Amino acid sequence: MLLIENLAQVANQIEAERGVSRETLFSAIEQALISACRKMFENEMEFRVALHEETGEATIYRVYEVVSEVEEAHTQMALKEAKKHRATIKVGDTLEIQQDIPNFGRIAAQTAKQVIVQRIREAEKQSVFEEFSEKEGKVLSGVVQRVEARNYLINLGRTEAILPFREVISGETFHLKDRIKVYVIGVDKGSRGNVVTISRTHGGLLRCLLEAEVPEIQEGIIDVISVAREPGKRAKVAVKSNSPTIGAVGTCVGQMGSRIQVVTKELSGERIDILEWHEDPRAFIASALKPAKVSSVTILDEDAKTARVVVPNDQLSLAIGKRGVNVRLSVRLTGWNLDILSEEEDGKGGAEDSGLSLEEKLKASQETTDEGESTEVSDAAEASEDAPVSGLAAKIQQEAQSDATEASSEEASSDVAESDPAEEAADSDESVSDSAETSAADQGTDKPESESASTPVEVAENQDA
């Protein structure tokens, strides 16, 4: 018989710290003692250990099978020999004889230790797996323990999990000891332990944050029907009220947006649209495409869930959204495949854009808008050049033009009166469009003094003009 001191106290401590039950620990100790006995004796021998949980006493029994003819001496005993220990025993019964065990050697003790540690580790892994399996689909709070490249090691308490960069909201950065909230996608058993998959981009994170912030959702007064996210950019949530006196959208948003702002802050400023869910798919699709206005919704195939949506011409880009974000979220939120058309395209039967995707339509509409803006700018510039000058500026311009005309006529008459016939023939080849200064310089070199005397008069008249 062996005595294990403080067994009950040690069992309670391990159960509290590592989540391993007392029964699991006692079973591990019994298995460890059996393994140690096999190390001291023949491996073929069968043993059983009876452990008293309160006192810590362990009794070891050697187990025999009673047979009429012995074939294996280590595990079998003849009926005649077995009757010496128990008179009522018969063939096929099991006989247990208490085995006196001397002090275990180093190897046997090491074997027992390894068995206990391994069984406790396996029991702890199973306990963690069961605990986090129940938390699947929920939000947990963790602490950033290590940063490797763009991945984060998050301490979740009894286990750790890796938050990969693809599951981090765009633009987010965390530092050591930062406390963050993550969504548990799933728990798997791996060769090296449990693998907890977490995310901050999953739509379930937004759903759980709303449930935590809005008590009416927890009480079942308001139901969250569907959630669609573009992490870090925009999200849409469809809600339904089960009470006619409570508005679903206003309750989720809160007074002055207090409730939704808390969720937005946790998601790094992600814009969240709360929409009213409708049983009619046409109304639901029109609500999902907000803030764009919808002219009509036509169900094309109810089984395949395809629909055509017609919007005003100036609402097409808004309905599709920047880089198609709005329509993608609407498709995920409603579960319907949507074909967005403008009223002009719908009037033409959609023949021109029947083969275009939503992204191509958005690109075409943007190019059309850009071309229209550039055309308007060029037309405005040309119109401004050709347009007459009004007001005081027009009056000044007209007076200057009349003065210049009078000055040019006086210059021409003065030149004709003072020049000789020969010089007039020479000067007739000169261009009329020459400036006053150039003609004065040319005349000063070729003409007599009488012509050069008229130059100051011409300059003065030009200055007056």
pLDDT digits (tens, 9 = 90+) for 139-177: 999 999 999 888 999 999 889 999 999 999 988 899 999
Of residues 202, 208, 135, 133, the one with CA closest to residue 163:
202
Do 122 and 141 reside in the same domain of the chain? no
Of residues 237, 169, 168, 241, the one with CA closest to residue 208:
237
So what's the pLDDT on residue 396?
A: 38
The pTM score is 0.64
Do 20 and 95 reside in the same domain of the chain? yes
Do 108 and 63 reside in the same domain of the chain? yes
Give the domain-ending residue among 201, 220, 241. 201
Domain presence at residue 170? yes
Instruction: Determine the average pLDDT of the residues in 272-283.
Output: 92
Give the domain-ending residue among 201, 220, 252. 201
- Inter-residue contact 63 to 94 (CB < 8 Å): yes
Do 17 and 104 reside in the same domain of the chain? yes
So what's the pLDDT on residue 405?
A: 52
pLDDT at 434 over 80: no
Do 39 and 94 reside in the same domain of the chain? yes
Do 9 and 123 reside in the same domain of the chain? yes
Domain presence at residue 359? yes
pLDDT at 391 over 70: no
- Inter-residue contact 172 to 185 (CB < 8 Å): no
CATH number, domain at 32?
3.30.1480.10
Residues 6+ positions from 323 with CB-CB distance below 8 Å: 359, 362
So what's the pLDDT on residue 444?
A: 38
With cut-offs at 50, 70 and 90, classify the pLDDT of residue 100.
confident
Quickly count: other Cβ atoms within 10 Å of residue 337's Cβ.
12
Query: What whole-number distance in Å separates Cα of residue 390 and Cα of residue 223?
Result: 67
Domain presence at residue 340? yes
So what's the pLDDT on residue 43?
A: 64
Give the domain-ending residue among 163, 184, 201. 201
Token pair, residue 266, equals 């946790």
Domain presence at residue 218? no
Domain presence at residue 391? no
Q: How many domains does the chain have?
A: 4
So what's the pLDDT on residue 349?
A: 58
Instruction: Determine the average pLDDT of the residues in 122-127.
Output: 88
Do 370 and 421 reside in the same domain of the chain? no
Domain presence at residue 263? no
With cut-offs at 50, 70 and 90, classify the pLDDT of residue 337.
very high
Instruction: Determine the average pLDDT of the residues in 234-238.
Output: 94
Strand intervals (E) in 99-233? 139-148, 151-155, 160-163, 179-190, 193-199, 222-230
pLDDT at 302 over 60: yes
Q: Which residues pair with 98 in a beta bridge?
A: 61
Do 332 and 419 reside in the same domain of the chain? no
So what's the pLDDT on residue 403?
A: 52
Do 139 and 84 reside in the same domain of the chain? no
pLDDT at 399 over 90: no
The parent domain of residue 368 ranges over 278-382
Do 20 and 114 reside in the same domain of the chain? yes
So what's the pLDDT on residue 110?
A: 84
Which range among 51-55, 66-70, 183-187 shows the weakest confidence by mean pLDDT?
Answer: 51-55
Instruction: Determine the average pLDDT of the residues in 70-86.
Output: 85
pLDDT at 422 over 80: no
So what's the pLDDT on residue 237?
A: 95
Domain presence at residue 254? no
Do 186 and 170 reside in the same domain of the chain? yes
Do 316 and 355 reside in the same domain of the chain? yes
Domain presence at residue 268? no
Instruction: Determine the average pLDDT of the residues in 236-241.
Output: 94
Helices 258-266 & 203-213, crossing angle to 10 degrees? 140
Which range among 10-14, 200-204, 237-241 shows the weakest confidence by mean pLDDT?
Answer: 10-14
- Average pLDDT of the chain to the nearest whole number: 77
